[in-house]
C-alpha cells in the first residue's frame, strides 16, 4: 500500500502519531524482555535488540516516502515467537540443543567472559559460527519488523504542521509505553499478554483506512495464533508447579527430590529456563526423620550455616541477596536474634515466602527489604554482627538500554567498603559465590584484601559432598577478629584446613587482575577489553553496514551527520545517566522506569522551553552542554558523600540531567528547522546505533571516560550543522 500526501486534519495525524509511537516503544520493550529470557544470548548482549529496533526504525524513516508494508510488523513478530517456541533441536555429542534458545551454549568457547550455564560439549569453530549466525538472524528479523513503524513515524513527523508538537507527541506516547509495560511488570503478567497488547495496539491502526490490506489482516491473524500458542501451549514441562514473570526474569518452580528417592527436599527455582536456586528443607525435623540421608553435622558446614559457626548467636544479621530464603533459614536455625534480608526480585521473595519449607520469611525475626544491595547499604546506618552476601550471581541485565547486569555494582571495591562500614568492630563478613573462572575467584580475593586491609580466608566447597561447588570468602575488620573466628571451634578449624583454597593454585599474574570499581564494574570480564562475543557481533554489524550502505543511501538519500552525531552522543549520555542513577538509587526495574521517564520528561521540557521562548540561537546551548558534560566527567560523584542520602540524591540527579536537557534543546531547535524530518530522524537513530556499539568501549576505559566520546560527538554534530539548521535565525 502506498501513502500519498495527506489531506486530513492535524488532529488526525496527531492521533496516528501517538498510536504508532506507543506501538513502537511498548513492542520494543516487550521484545527486549522476552528475548533476553527465552533466547538467553540477549541477556549478555541485551542492547543488541535495542540497536536492531533503532536500525529498523531508522531505515524505515529513510524510506518513509516509499510503499509501507505494515504487514511486516505482524509477520516479523510472529516469526520471532515461532523461532523460539517451535520445538526443534539437533543433537551434538549426545546433547540436545535448540538452535535459538540455546545460543549461549554454542558460544561457550569465548572464555574471556562468563556465560551462565555453559556447555560441556567439545565446541568447534562450526558451532561458534552457528551461534553467531543464529543471533544475527534474529537481529535481522527484529530489524525488518520495525521498518514499517519507522516509515510511518518518519512520514507523520514530516506531515505534521507543528514540528515541536509532533515530536512532543512522540515522546509523550513513549512515556505511556514505558509505564504501560511497567504496569505489566508490577502485575507479574505473562509474556503472551505483552504480545496480546501489541496485537491489539497494532490492530487498532486498522481504524485508519490507509493501513488496511489483505496482507495486514493475514499477518495479524498469524500473530494472534502465535500469541495463543504462547498462552495455552508454552511447552511441555514435567512437574512444573508455577511460572511467574517477575519484573526481572522468568521464574519456574519445580518440586525437588533427593536423587533416586521420593523424599522431597524442597523446591527448585529455574530462572530464564535454567536451574538457579533451591528452596531447601534443612530443618532439624527432616534431619532426624532421615538420618541415613541427612546429617546435622554436615549441615553445620553448609554455606548457609557456616557463617554462624564463625559468629555464634549474632544479634543483628544482614543478608544481601537473600533469594528464596535459604540464608535466612540458616540464620534462624543458628539463633540469630534479628535478620535483615535484602532481595531485589519481588517475584523470588514472594515464591520463597509461600513455598520455602522452613517459611523463614514468615518469622517475625526476619525483616525483608525488596531492594538493591547498594541502595540498601547507602540508606541504612545500622551496624551488624554478621553480613552475608548470598549467591548474588544474577545474569540478568538491569536495563533495556545498557549491558549492565543487576549484580555488577555489588562486587566492586566501593561496595565492599560500604559493607565494611556497616560491620561492628567484632563483626564478620562472608561471601558465597560460584566462580566459573579462577580469575573471578582471585578478583574477589583481591577486592576483599584491598577493602579490609587483610587477606580473606577462602573455603572451596567440594560439590560431591555439599551439592554446591562454590567458594566462601570470610573476612573481618582486622586480622585479630578474623583469626579468632576461624579458630574458635576445633571442628570449624579442621573443616577450614581441609577445604582452604590452595594459594599455590592461584591464576598467573594474580596481582595484575584488575579490581572492579564503580567506574569499571565488569566482574565477569577477565581484563579491560571488549569481549570476543561482542567483538564478533560488532564485526558482523560493520560488515553488514558496509555492504548495505549503497542500498540504503541510494541517490537522493544522504545521511545527515549533524543528527547522526547527536544520536551517537545522546545514547551514550543516556547510558551514563542510567548507570550512575543505578549506583545512586539501585539497579531496580522501578528505578530504571523512573530514570527513562525522567529523560523523556526533560526532552518534553526542552521542547516547551524552545517553543515558549522561541529560542533559535544554538551556539550558547552547545557551550552549556559541553561544559555540563565535562563537569560530570571531572567531578566524581562521591564528592557529595558527606551529604544526607536524599540531599545527595537530589544534587547528583540535577548534575546528571542538566546535559540531557541541553541536548534536548539542541535537537528540537535543529529538528524544527530541517526540511526533511524523516531523514533527520533516521540519521539520528543510525547515530544511536553507533552509540550503542561504542558503549562497549566502557569495557576498556570505564564508564566515565565515555563522556569524552559524548563531548567529541557533540562537537562533531556542531561542525556538521547544515545551512538549513543555521546557528541563529
Per-residue pLDDT band at 209 (split at 50, 70, 90): confident
pLDDT of residue 395: 63
Q: Domain 291-393+413-512: which topology?
A: Rossmann fold (3.40.50)
User: Does residue 311 or residue 637 have the better pLDDT?
Assistant: 311
pLDDT exceeds cutoff 50 at 186 = yes
Highest-scoring range by mean pLDDT, 98-112, 213-227, 228-242, 274-288: 213-227
Q: Is the CB of residue 50 less than 8 Å from the CB of residue 401?
A: yes
pLDDT of residue 287: 82
The secondary structure element, H or E, covering residue 547 is helix 532-552
User: Does residue 519 or residue 558 have the better pLDDT?
Assistant: 519
pLDDT exceeds cutoff 90 at 285 = no
pLDDT of residue 388: 97
Residue 522 burial by CB count (10 A; 0-12/13-18/19+): exposed, middle or buried?
A: buried
Q: Is the CB of residue 171 less than 8 Å from the CB of residue 15?
A: no
- Residue 441: which residues within 8 A CB-CB, separation 6 or more? 433, 435, 458, 471, 501
- Residue 344: which residues within 8 A CB-CB, separation 6 or more? 248, 321, 370, 371, 372, 373, 394, 406, 586, 587, 588
Segment 72-79 shows an average pLDDT of 95
Residue 141 burial by CB count (10 A; 0-12/13-18/19+): exposed, middle or buried?
A: middle
pLDDT of residue 96: 75
Q: What percent of the chain has pLDDT over 90?
A: 54
* Least confidently predicted of 274-278, 387-391, 543-547: 543-547
Q: Specify the length of the chain in residues.
A: 729
Q: Retrieve residue 350's grid coordinates.
A: 514472594
CA distance 689 to 685: 6
| CA angle (715, 716, 722) in 5-degree steps | 110
Q: How far apart are the first and last CA of the chain?
A: 39
Segment 258-264 shows an average pLDDT of 76
pLDDT exceeds cutoff 80 at 165 = yes
Q: Domain 558-729: which topology?
A: Growth Hormone; Chain: A; (1.20.1250)
Segment 212-240 shows an average pLDDT of 88
Per-residue pLDDT band at 729 (split at 50, 70, 90): very low
Per-residue pLDDT band at 75 (split at 50, 70, 90): very high
User: Does residue 234 or residue 33 have the better pLDDT?
Assistant: 33
Q: Which of 194, 323, 188 is nearest to 250 (CA)?
A: 188
- Residue 255: which residues within 8 A CB-CB, separation 6 or more? 239, 241, 264, 267, 268
| CA angle (410, 415, 420) in 5-degree steps | 130
Q: Give the tens place of pLDDT for each residue, 392-444.
A: 876 666 555 556 677 888 999 999 999 999 999 999 999 999 887 888 899 99
Indicate the angle between helix axes 532-552 and 47-62, nearest 10 degrees: 10
pLDDT of residue 127: 73
Helix (H, G, I), strand (E, B) or coil at 363: coil
Q: Give the tens place of pLDDT for each residue, 510-530.
A: 667 899 999 999 988 888 988
CA distance 199 to 465: 51
Q: Give the tens place of pLDDT for each residue, 640-682.
A: 777 777 787 788 888 989 999 999 999 999 999 998 899 999 9
pLDDT of residue 158: 93
Segment 231-249 shows an average pLDDT of 85
Averaged pLDDT score across all residues of the chain: 87
pLDDT of residue 567: 97
pLDDT exceeds cutoff 50 at 381 = yes
Per-residue pLDDT band at 693 (split at 50, 70, 90): confident
Distance of CA 368 to the CA centre of its chain: 23
pLDDT exceeds cutoff 80 at 465 = no
User: Does residue 439 or residue 119 have the better pLDDT?
Assistant: 439
Segment 550-578 shows an average pLDDT of 85
Q: What percent of the chain has pLDDT over 70?
A: 89
Domain boundaries, the chain: 7-234, 291-393+413-512, 558-729
Per-residue pLDDT band at 122 (split at 50, 70, 90): low
Per-residue pLDDT band at 36 (split at 50, 70, 90): confident
User: Does residue 81 or residue 288 have the better pLDDT?
Assistant: 81
pLDDT exceeds cutoff 70 at 263 = yes
User: Does residue 139 or residue 642 have the better pLDDT?
Assistant: 139
pLDDT exceeds cutoff 70 at 504 = no
Q: Is the CB of residue 368 less than 8 Å from the CB of residue 321?
A: no
Segment 185-189 shows an average pLDDT of 94
Indicate the angle between helix axes 677-694 and 645-673, nearest 10 degrees: 140
In angstroms, the Cα distances linking 615 to 262, 511, 665, 719 are 75, 55, 9, 20
pLDDT of residue 514: 92
Q: Which of 114, 49, 135 is nearest to 532 (CA)?
A: 114
Per-residue pLDDT band at 188 (split at 50, 70, 90): very high
Q: Give the tens place of pLDDT for each residue, 141-162.
A: 999 999 999 999 999 999 999 9
Segment 564-592 shows an average pLDDT of 88
pLDDT of residue 4: 47
In the 8-state DSSP scheme, what is residue 117?
S
How many other β-carbons are positioned within 10 Å of the β-carbon of residue 1? 13
Q: Give the tens place of pLDDT for each residue, 308-347.
A: 999 999 999 999 999 999 999 999 999 999 999 999 999 9
Characterize the bridge pairing of strands 264-271 and 250-257: antiparallel
Amino acid at each position: 500500500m502506498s501513502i500519498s500526501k495527506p489531506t486530513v486534519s492535524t488532529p488526525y495525524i496527531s492521533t496516528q502519531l501517538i498510536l504508532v509511537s506507543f506501538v513502537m516503544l511498548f513492542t520494543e520493550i516487550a521484545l527486549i524482555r522476552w528475548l533476553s529470557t527465552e533466547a538467553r544470548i540477549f541477556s549478555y548482549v541485551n542492547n543488541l535488540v535495542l540497536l536492531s529496533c533503532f536500525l529498523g526504525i531508522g531505515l524505515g524513516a529513510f524510506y518513509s516516502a516509499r510503499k509501507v508494508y505494515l504487514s511486516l510488523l505482524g509477520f516479523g513478530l510472529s516469526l520471532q515467537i515461532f523461532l523460539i517456541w517451535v520445538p526443534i533441536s539437533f543433537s551434538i555429542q549426545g546433547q540436545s540443543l535448540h538452535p535459538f534458545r540455546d545460543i549461549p551454549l554454542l558460544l561457550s568457547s569465548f572464555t574471556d567472559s562468563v556465560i551462565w550455564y555453559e556447555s560441556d560439549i567439545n565446541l568447534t569453530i562450526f558451532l561458534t559460527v552457528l551461534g553467531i549466525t543464529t543471533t544475527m538472524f534474529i537481529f535481522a528479523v527484529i530489524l525488518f519488523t520495525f521498518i514499517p513503524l519507522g516509515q510511518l513515524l518518519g512520514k507523520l513527523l514530516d506531515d505534521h504542521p507543528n514540528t515541536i508538537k509532533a515530536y512532543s507527541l512522540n515522546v509523550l506516547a513513549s512515556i505511556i509505553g514505558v509505564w504501560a509495560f511497567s504496569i505489566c511488570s508490577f502485575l507479574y503478567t505473562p509474556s503472551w499478554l505483552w504480545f496480546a497488547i501489541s496485537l491489539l495496539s497494532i490492530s487498532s491502526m486498522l481504524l485508519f483506512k490507509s493501513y488496511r490490506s489483505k496482507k495486514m489482516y493475514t499477518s495479524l491473524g498469524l500473530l494472534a495464533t502465535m500469541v495463543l500458542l504462547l498462552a495455552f501451549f508454552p511447552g511441555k514441562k514435567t512437574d512444573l508447579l508455577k511460572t511467574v514473570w517477575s519484573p526481572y526474569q522468568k521464574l519456574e518452580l519445580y518440586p525437588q527430590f533427593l536423587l533416586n528417592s521420593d523424599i522431597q527436599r524442597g523446591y527448585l527455582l529455574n530462572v530464564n529456563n535454567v536451574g538457579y536456586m533451591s528452596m531447601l528443607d534443612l530443618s532439624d525435623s527432616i534431619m532426624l526423620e532421615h538420618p541415613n540421608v541427612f546429617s546435622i553435622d554436615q549441615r553445620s558446614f553448609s554455606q548457609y550455616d557456616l557463617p554462624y559457626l564463625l559468629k555464634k548467636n549474632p544479634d543483628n544479621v544482614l543478608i544481601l541477596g537473600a533469594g528464596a530464603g535459604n540464608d535466612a533459614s540458616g540464620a534462624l536455625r543458628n539463633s540469630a536474634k534479628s535478620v535483615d534480608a535484602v532481595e531485589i526480585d519481588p517475584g523470588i521473595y514472594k515464591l520463597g515466602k509461600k513455598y520455602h519449607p522452613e517459611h523463614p520469611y514468615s518469622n517475625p525475626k526476619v525483616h525483608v527489604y525488596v531492594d538493591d544491595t547498594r541502595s540498601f547499604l547507602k540508606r541504612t546506618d545500622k551496624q551488624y554482627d554478621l553480613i552475608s552476601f548470598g549467591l548474588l550471581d544474577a545474569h540478568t541485565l538491569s536495563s533495556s538500554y545498557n549491558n549492565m547486569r543487576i549484580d555488577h555494582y555489588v562486587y566492586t571495591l566501593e561496595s565492599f567498603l560500604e559493607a565494611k562500614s556497616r560491620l561492628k568492630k567484632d563483626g564478620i563478613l562472608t561471601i558465597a559465590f560460584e566462580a566459573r573462572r579462577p580469575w573471578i575467584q582471585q578478583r574477589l580475593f583481591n577486592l576483599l584484601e584491598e577493602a579490609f586491609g587483610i587477606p580473606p580466608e577462602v573455603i572451596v566447597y567440594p560439590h560431591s559432598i555439599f551439592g554446591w561447588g562454590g567458594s566462601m570468602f570470610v573476612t573481618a575488620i582486622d586480622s585479630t577478629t578474623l583469626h579468632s573466628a576461624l579458630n574458635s571451634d576445633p571442628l570449624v578449624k579442621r573443616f577450614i584446613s581441609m577445604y582452604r583454597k590452595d594459594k599455590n593454585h592461584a591464576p598467573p599474574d594474580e596481582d595484575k587482575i584488575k579490581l572492579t570499581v564503580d567506574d569499571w564494574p565488569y566482574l565477569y570480564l577477565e581484563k579491560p577489553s571488549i569481549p570476543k562475543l561482542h567483538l564478533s557481533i560488532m564485526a558482523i554489524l560493520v560488515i553488514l553496514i558496509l555492504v548495505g550502505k549503497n542500498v540504503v543511501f541510494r541517490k537522493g538519500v544522504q545521511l545527515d551527520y549533524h543528527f547522526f552525531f547527536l544520536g551517537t552522543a545522546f545514547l551514550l549520555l543516556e547510558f551514563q545517566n542510567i548507570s550512575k542513577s543505578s549506583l545512586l538509587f539501585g539497579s531496580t526495574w522501578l528505578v530504571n522506569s523512573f530514570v527513562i521517564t525522567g529523560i523523556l520528561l526533560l526532552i518534553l521540557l526542552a521542547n516547551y522551553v524552545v517553543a515558549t521562548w522561541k529560542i533559535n540561537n544554538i551556539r550558547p546551548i552547545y557551550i552549556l552542554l559541553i561544559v555540563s558534560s565535562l563537569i560530570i566527567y571531572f567531578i566524581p560523584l562521591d564528592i557529595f558523600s558527606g551529604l544526607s542520602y536524599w540531599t545527595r540524591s537530589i544534587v547528583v540527579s540535577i548534575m546528571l540531567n542538566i546535559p540531557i536537557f541541553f541536548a534536548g534543546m539542541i535537537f528540537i531547535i535543529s529538528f524544527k528547522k530541517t526540511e526533511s524530518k524523516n531523514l533527520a530522524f533516521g540519521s539520528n537513530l543510525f547515530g544511536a546505533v553507533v552509540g550503542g556499539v561504542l558503549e562497549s568501549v566502557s569495557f576498556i576505559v570505564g564508564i566515565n571516560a565515555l563522556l569524552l566520546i559524548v563531548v567529541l560527538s557533540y562537537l562533531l554534530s556542531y561542525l556538521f550543522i547544515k545551512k538549513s539548521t543555521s546557528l541563529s535565525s
